Chain A
Amino acid sequence: MHAKQAVNDFVVKFANVNGTGSASANHMFAKAIFRMGIPVSPRNIFPSNIQGLPTWYEVRVSHKGYLGRRGGGVDLMLCVNPQSMERDVKEVEPGGYFVYDSTKPLDPRLIRSDINYIGIPITSMCLREYTDARQRLLFKNVIYVGALAALLDIEFGVLKDLVAEQFKGKEKLITQNVHALEMGHQYAVQNYACPIGLRVERGGNIARHILETDHILMDGNTAVALGAVYGGASVAAWYPITPSTSVVDGFETYCKRLRIDPGTGEKNYAIVQAEDELSAIGMVIGAGWNGARAFTATSGPGLSLMGEFLGLAYFAEVPAVLVDVQRSGPSTGMPTRTQQSDVLAAAYASHGDTKHVLLFPATPAECFSLTVKAFDLADRLQTPVLMLTDLDLGMNDWMSPPLHFDDQHTYDRGKVLDAEALEALAREGKRFGRYLDVDGDGIPYRTYPGAHPTIGAYTARGTSRDEYALYTEDGAAYVRNVDRLLKKFETAKQYVPEPKIKPAAKKTPYGAIFFGTTASPAYEAVEMLAEEGIAIDTMRLRAFPFSQAVEDFITAHETVFVIEQNRDGQMRRLLINETDVPAKEKLVPVLNYDGLPITARQIAAGVRAGIGGTDNVTPIDRSKRKTSRKSKP
């Protein structure tokens, strides 16, 4: 029998039952590999359910540091869920391994001749060892992690350290967990040749750029939460929705640690769980108008509900930060599956002529830094800033460069006139006009309520107004106002983060544009294609409005693949709509929208199909070029 051989380069998948405590054991498995300095990317593939339905945890180990999904089958399946066993067996790559609970014999129909079976009698071990029903259930997970450690050569000491950290101060739990790990470990060592063909190894073949960075392992939502703390958010209003909930949960956790007034024990923050998303964004806008940095976190359905208010904030020019952790839509869609399908809804949220500033982080480190940036942008531009992450980035742990903050950074509160500035203005004989374009950049000056007893008061409104914030239905005043808003949007281009451009090793007519979580598998696919002789320049978008660099990139290439995770090629359409260069013919969509993160193999196949062959010297025959939709992995 062929047994797959690989060092630091394989995919392990756990098939569990939701609500059985597997998540923390699986996390420990991934963290142990990470602790050994080996790039790892774990992903929860979970149901919209609390208990009972199948749930999976996929861990990719990649010495090259590829963090996106590889695609194809898995190399090792650890299956302890009879419900899903039939499909789980099928998912194993030829030569791969199927690890199962052998307390009961395996159904002969599940036997494949081209994979290796490793049985561990987990249930009977637990029944023998424990009398408590809860322990019998929970330690199953720990036992299989112990067994995998032996099978894959994970350092046992690292696992013991993790247990000790997790249960710090609870000696009894530490002893019990280490014992369970040992039971699994010993069983594997005594019954199988360990390690199997797949194994991990410190140093070894790990890419140098990986070894040189002191990586962290964290999820995007927690990074956003910390970004909000560092960015100076003092008000958070939200309504629970998967997959964004842990953003505000994380914010609260860090605030309790970092934002308590040392003298009084009072809170330097306020968090309100609103009655719905309308109210959540309303509170953010009320707080922003009144000079506090405020944010909300939501997902697609919440974004839809917030539309009217986003239009108000755009038109009345109120700073607000909204984090949209995207999931599969439309409607309730697949609430626990990922997508990048809110791009257009976010860019143009609300009726009327409306455009919003968008940010697209790709890593936890960037979730942190762009959240900090979002608050500065919202204040500077006096407008909502929408940061689009997704379920994959938000809820999964990612190996990331450490979070970075510059102590020299001071908050950019934008153009705010305080009492002193208002008086200076009055001394110059000038009248304060809330919506006057004083500097010619489309950004007016604002005042906080209560700033001055006699000057600077105005009424913020969603109705049309003149430069002095007075209600008007004069068409000319309306046009002046909305044209200034457009000018302000143009000004925004100089403040938003530039795209990251990576040129290919040689000159090429091909470019690829992507953003967010599509970046990791896209870079991997580009390296795969480079080995095949297809050179591709890449541009990772980080913001909307698009800067000049985006137009230049499109202009510089004959064909530009726009890789994203939605059906309609929404970013492609936004590029066509919002750039002034001929783009429609050049931009070729490469898409995946089945709710699972796009894989490197899907992207590579999509690009090959788009080129119409694997030889990039062959001129493109546009008539034959077809859109690659959900190409096979």
Chain B
Amino acid sequence: MTYQKPSFRHPAAQVNELGYTRRDYEGSLSTLCAGCGHDSISAAIIEAVFTLPLEPHRIAKMSGIGCSSKTPAYFLGRSHGFNSVHGRMPSVTTGASLANRDLVYIGVSGDGDTASIGFGQFGHAVRRNLNMTYIVENNGCYGLTKGQDSATADVGSKNKKGAANPYEPIDLVSMAIQLGATFVGRSFSGDRQQLVPLIKAALTHRGFAFLDVVSPCVTFNNHEGSTKSYAFTRERIEATPLDFVPMREEIRTSYAAGATQEVCMHDGSVIRLHKQNDEYDIEDAQSALQAIAHHNKQGRVLTGLLYIDRDAHEMHEVLGTVRRPLNSLTEKELCPGTKVLDSINAGLR
């Protein structure tokens, strides 16, 4: 249990350019285990929306069931949230987006919620290019039911009781790219420097932005033999450092400038990727899949922004819905009136 929020989150009276303090983006106290990777992700989300910045009440927090899906209570207390049913966050978010396309949707899910019970809904939300940021807090196990292997657990990785997982894992980033996700990234809950800009970029992306965040379960999956432990992940991570530069904001980067690739988002924001030797064209899905598989073979987890397609149409553009949120339409736009009904009746005689 995290009893107290670290004080460094509250630099006195610091406000963002919208006039909000960091506290305006915080939620209630976390009830997850102390040291849970998920709490780091919540903090990264708060940091991302505070610095982007976004207005807290224009964000909707969506989730399913599981440890990960509890976390929306722990950030963005001034945003509406919907803690729905297991594996069904994508459909609820689809409906919410249909009703009001103007809000920013952050969905938080887990590996059980996405790779098992919600696998179907996940795939179809991707396929529709639903305009949302979809974060999987991936710890390879079922935390709330005490540590069963999930579908993302690596083959051979050991659970708390020492039993090795006999099944091949589902690699969510590869799956997302294959299904046609238009923004795919992977990160590690412990790598705030990479995770925060990734979340900011995802929030700016128009369409389905998917982030697979390896997030160790300190209670059930942080032991020797686990491939989703802090130690294992820190050792094997292959990180592509990046910056996200919001439109209008000065360039601040904590990484040394090396070979960089710039990706300009629709609103004018820029993602800067700091290339490494084995980098590839992140706008080419096949190269991305190959690079992920290549690192995987080497026993490494490739992180960073792995794939982006900035030209695809998001769901509302495909559907051709009005610019105005559908939930703001009134009788005037919705109800054709009795004259029309009379003519319909006449046509049925």
Binding site for B on A (CB under 8 A): 35, 214-218, 226, 229-230, 232-235, 237, 258-259, 261, 264, 266-272, 274-276, 278-294, 308-309, 312, 316, 402-407, 410-411, 447-454, 457-463, 470-471
Quick one: given A234-B327, A278-B121, A449-B100, are A268 and B319 in contact (CB under 8 Å)?
Answer: no
Nearest residue (CB) in B for A234 is B326
The answer on a CB contact under 8 Å between A259 and B83 is no
Rounded to whole angstroms, the CA-CA distance of A34 and B123 in the bound complex is 49
Contact A459 B80 (CB under 8 A): yes
14 A-B contacts (beta carbon < 8 Å): A216-B345, A235-B326, A237-B91, A259-B334, A266-B320, A278-B121, A287-B95, A290-B103, A292-B327, A312-B84, A312-B85, A449-B96, A460-B80, A471-B73
Indicate if the CB atoms of B91 and A459 lie closer than 8 Å.
Answer: no
* A46-B118 Cα distance, complex, nearest whole Å: 36
Inter-subunit contact B349/A216 (CB<8 Å): yes
Having A214-B349, A403-B344, one finds 15 other A-B pairs with CB under 8 Å, namely: A217-B348, A233-B334, A234-B329, A234-B334, A261-B333, A266-B320, A267-B320, A282-B84, A282-B92, A286-B92, A286-B95, A294-B95, A405-B335, A451-B57, A453-B55
Are B124's CB and A232's CB within 8 A?
no
Residues A450 and B348 in contact, CB atoms below 8 Å apart: no
Question: Residues of A contacting B78 with CB < 8 Å?
Answer: 453-454, 457
Bound form: Cα–Cα A267–B121 in Å? 25
A275 and B122 CA atoms in complex are apart in Å by: 10
Say whether B72 faces chain A, with CB atoms less than 8 Å apart: yes
Q: In the complex, are the beta carbons of B98 and A270 less than 8 A apart?
A: yes
Q: In the bound complex, do residue B338 and residue A458 qualify as a contact, i.e. CB atoms below 8 Å apart?
A: no
Chain A nearest CB from B15 CB (Å) reads 14
Q: Is the CB of B100 within 8 A of A270?
A: no
What are the residues of chain A within 8 A of B325 when measuring CB–CB? 292
Question: At the interface, yes or no: B259 with Cβ under 8 Å from chain A?
Answer: no
Task: Give the B interface residue count (CB, 8 A).
Answer: 61
| Set of chain A residues within 8 Å of B156, measured between Cβ atoms | none
Instruction: Check B121 against A402 for contact (C-beta < 8 Å).
Output: no
Inter-subunit contact A268/B322 (CB<8 Å): yes
Task: Knowing A232-B335, A268-B329 are in contact, say whether A459-B95 is a contact too (CB < 8 A).
Answer: no
Contact with A along B84-108 (1 / 0, CB 8 A): 1100101111111111101100000
Number of A-B contacts (CB under 8 A): 228
Report chain B residues within 8 Å CB of A274: 91, 124
User: Could you tell me the distance in whole angstroms from the C-beta of B42 to the nearest C-beta in chain A?
Assistant: 14
Interface residues of B (CB under 8 A from A): 28, 55-58, 60-61, 72-73, 77-85, 88, 90-100, 102-103, 120-121, 123-124, 128, 316, 319-323, 325-327, 329-331, 333-338, 340-341, 344-345, 348-349
Contacts of A284 in B (CB 8 A): 95
Which A-chain residue is minimally distant from B348 (CB atoms)? A216
Given contacts A290-B96, A291-B327, A312-B84, contact A275 B333 (CB under 8 A): no
Partner of B322, one of A230, A266, A279: A266
The answer to whether A286 touches B345 (Cβ under 8 A) is no
Q: Of all chain A residues, which has the CB nearest B97?
A: A286
B335 neighbours in A (Cβ, 8 Å): 229-230, 232, 405
Contact B80 A215 (CB under 8 A): no
Taking a contact as CB atoms under 8 Å apart, the answer to whether A411 and B91 are in contact is: no
Point out the residues of chain A lying under 8 angstroms from B90, CB to CB: 279, 282
Q: How far, in Å, is A468 (CB) from chain B's closest CB?
A: 11
Given known contacts A278-B121, A450-B102, is B338 in contact with A405 (CB within 8 Å)? Answer: yes
The answer to whether B83 and A463 have CB atoms under 8 Å apart is yes
CA distance A122 to B103 in the complex (A): 63
- A268 in contact with B326 (CB, 8 Å): yes
Task: Collect the chain A residues with CB atoms within 8 Å of residue B319's CB.
Answer: 267, 270-272
Task: Specify which chain A residues have a CB less than 8 angstroms from the CB of B340 in the assembled complex.
Answer: 258
Tell me whether A292 and B98 are in contact (CB under 8 A): yes
Q: A229-B336, A268-B322 are in contact. Are A291 and B88 (CB under 8 A)?
A: no
| Closest Cβ–Cβ distance, residue A165 to chain B (whole Å) | 9
Asked if A279 and B334 make an inter-chain contact with CB atoms under 8 angstroms apart, the answer reads no
Given A459-B72, A461-B83, verify A268-B334 contact (CB < 8 Å).
yes
B131 → A minimal CB distance (Å): 13
Chain B residues in 8 Å Cβ range of A452:
57
Chain A residues positioned under 8 Å from B103 (CB to CB): 290, 449-450
Q: Which residues of B contact A411 (CB under 8 A)?
A: 330-331, 334
Q: Which of A233, A290, A403, A461 contacts B95 (CB 8 A)?
A: A290
Minimal Cβ-Cβ distance residue in A for B89: A282
> Which of chain B's residues have a CB closer than 8 A to the CB of A406?
338
- Please give me the residue from chain A that is nearest to B31 by CB atom: A471
Q: B268 → chain A, closest Cβ, in Å?
A: 24
Query: What distance in Å separates the Cβ of A402 from its nearest Cβ neighbour in chain B?
Result: 4
Of A233, A289, A293, chain B has the most CB atoms within 10 Å of the CB of A289
